[in-house]
Structure 1
Amino acid sequence: MKTIIKKILPLFTAFLLLTSVHIYAQDPVKTAPKNYKKVLLENDNVRVLQFEMAPKEVIPWHTHPNHVIYALSDGKIEITDKGKEAVTMDVKSGDVVFIPAVTHMARNIGSTTIKLIITEIK
């Protein structure tokens, strides 16, 4: 019996680790298709996404490669990167921000719908 447990335990542990990565590292278009309205362009170099998030809305854990956001509207968003404390960002229309590869979740804590163009760099 101990031999069976010794053989199964590492496999079970590996399964849990792989599963947890997929839970926390999802493609944002699959995780929140209601918010990632449209893939505007996708090729070998970039993926450009149209994004909207209504007030009080939460985007679950997802992953982006290096990316650039361009704000189409003003808003207030709370971003929680994996393993870090939440950070509040005041977004202004016309803002452009480079964000390194990240796994995070987001919450619209403002009173307006946030509209962004997100360019992921492959």
Structure 2
Amino acid sequence: MADDPVASNPEHYRVVFENDRVRVLEYHDVPGDRTTPHAHPDSVMYTLSSFRRRLVNGDQEREVEMAAGTTGWLPAQEHHGENIGDTPTHVLFVELKDDAAASGAGPVLGPVE
């Protein structure tokens, strides 16, 4: 299995929030940057910038172009990528944790830490 992106590509990924249910990663790169192979669990992705990337896993290759402000589902996967566009990439990933069970803490109003 490929590495955690924060461990394998710390120059691009950083943890901005984590609890027992989710981990939120922020990703930055510039045109021409490449990542090493890494794995993502099921996640929700929110694009903060428009970008164009090539994603590769073994013999599979896919080019993606996304507009800023796009929210989408990212199924669990392994890949490495390259910024093949003319703009930096800036993305947030909300990773779901497998053991995310209902907390049973009762009603809550507003955000919690």
State the TM-score bracket (shorter-chain normalisation).
Answer: 0.7 to 0.9
Displacement of 1:44 in angstroms is 1.1
Pairing 1:24-39 to 2, within 5 Å after superposition? 25-36=2-13, 38-39=14-15
Q: Which residue in the other structure is 1:55 paired with?
A: 31
Aligned residues: 97
- Shift of the 84–66 alpha-carbon distance from structure 1 to 2, 3 Å rule, reads farther
Displacement of 1:50 in angstroms is 1.1
Tell me which stretches of 4 or more aligned residues in structure 1 moved more than 3 Å: none
Q: Which has the larger radius of gyration?
A: 1
Report the TM-score when normalising by structure 1: 0.75
5+ residue gaps, structure 2, are 98-113
CA RMSD of superposed structures (Å): 1.1
Q: Which residue in the other structure is 1:100 paired with?
A: 75
In the aligned structure 1, how far is the partner of 2:53 from the partner of 2:62? Answer: 8
- For residue 77 of structure 1, the aligned residue among 53, 56, 69 is 53
5+ residue gaps, structure 1, are 1-20
- For residue 65 of structure 2, the aligned residue among 87, 90, 93 is 90
Higher helix share: 1
Displacement of 1:83 in angstroms is 3.7
